[in-house]
Amino acid sequence: MSIHSGNDKESKAPDTKDEKKEHVTILAIESSCDETAAAVVRDGREVLSNIISSQIALHTVFGGVVPEIASRKHVEKINYCVREALKEAGLGLSDIDAIGVTYGPGLVGALLVGVSEAKSLSFAADIPLVGVHHIEGHISANYIENKELEPPFACLVVSGGHSHLVIVRDYGEYEIIGQTRDDAAGEAFDKVARAIGLGYPGGPKIDKAAKEGNPDAISFPKANIEGAEYDFSFSGLKSAVLNYINIAQMQGEDYSKADLAASFQKAVVEVLTEHAVRAAREYGMKQLAIAGGVASNSSLRKSLEDACAREGIAFYSPSPVLCTDNAAMIGAAAYYEYQKGVRSGMDLNAVPNLPLGSRERKFHGRASMTGQTKD
Ligand code: KG4
Ligand code: ZN
């Protein structure tokens, strides 16, 4: 299986910007959810600028992301972000070798803003376009600060919409060995935070509250799925937390939000750690990385770091700002796609449910010339 990057049907003819150069500088754009972001990344690993305009404050009043509002805010902010990213990098469009953009998965209206911006810039300035899978971006965030990290490695991807265990065989080559059966890890954090009145976004709030609580105060269930040892399920845990709150309320008893947050977090972190480390061990991986918004969770980072140290596995994690949505990670992923000859056409569209392992991408450039397609 592989994560594919572009639903394009036709490639652009190689132009002067497609010539092999000593350095490849990519302008990257991300707008799949509630962050409008643009970045300039050189050679996949050097971030020259990373501009993020967060909409969190705007959506907090509604207790979650309102897609219509997100799209409108992206429209307002996208040009500003691109301009700032170029300015901070000290570059102009003429210095850019390719434009990388998230085209899925995500909110369709939100994705369309970034995709339209990227296509307009690509068309107007004649710069090659590379569509990027959002999760491929999250995984590639690990390359930015860990210059020595190269595939193969195991990667635990935990975001607001995804929980996957992936073996990264090579750049852009992914084998999905486990995934959630129901809620994503971030979704569970968000729902539990809402239930105990911590508000949106739940992950960072639970992380903070848990620091004051006792993780052993309440024993919550950890789901292990028979016959699918790398899969996750968080809905049972979420229901157990909601039941606990309901029972306490019906009995007129007070409960400690900090203890509940710490106990819930412990249950999630233990399952994620056990699955990820077992996957690395059983697949013979000497390196384990984490990716996605939940990867910024302090308890999860510590737990994986300790477990990897015990197992003799090298552990990698992006800085928290590169775990949550950003465009630098899209620039890193776009670089490796670009180097393989992947180019998106002017028909690149937003694909809200773009699956990991989608076959939508067609290989262009060298690969298509030899009639190869990618599995
Ligand atoms: O990757 P991301 O920014 O957006 C998606 O692609 O979904 O992930 C957002 C998710 C949210 O569910 C948020 O609550 C969670 O990541 N998150 C955290 C933390 N920071 C963000 N979850 C747990 N602990 C955190 N510190
Ligand atoms: Zn994300």
Question: Cα dist. 278→63, 231, 310, 315, 346 in Å?
Answer: 36, 12, 12, 14, 43
Query: Quick check: CB of 318 below 6 Å from ligand 1?
Result: no
How far, in Å, is the centroid of ligand 1 from the Cα of 35? Answer: 12
What is the CA(85)–ligand 1 centre distance, in A? 23
Q: What angle do CA 33, 197, 70 make, to 5 degrees?
A: 20
Report the pLDDT value the prediction gives residue 21, as an integer from 0 to 100. Answer: 76
Q: Is 204 in the pocket of ligand 1 (CB under 6 A)?
A: yes
Residue-level pLDDT at 357: 59
**Longest Cα–Cα distance in the chain:** 72
pLDDT in tens, 336-360: 999 999 999 999 999 999 976 553 4
Which residues in the chain come in under a pLDDT of 70? 1-20, 356-375
Q: Domains for the chain: give ranges and CATH numbers.
A: 2-141+324-370 (3.30.420.40), 151-319 (3.30.420.40)
pLDDT for residue 27: 98
Mean pLDDT taken over the chain: 89
Residue 17 is predicted with a pLDDT of 53
Q: Give the strand order in the sheet containing 46-54.
A: 46-54, 35-42, 25-30, 98-104, 129-133
Q: Relative to the CA of 161, which ligand 1 atom is closest?
A: 7
Taking alpha carbons only, the member of 365, 371, 364, 362 closest to residue 2 is 362
Closest residue CA from atom 7 of ligand 1: 160
Q: Is the CB of 292 under 6 A from ligand 1?
A: yes
Distance 55 CA to ligand 1 centre (A): 14
Note whether 269 and 277 are within 8 A (CB): no
How many other C-beta atoms lie within 10 A of the C-beta of residue 225?
12
- State which ligand 1 atom lies nearest to the alpha carbon of 106: 6
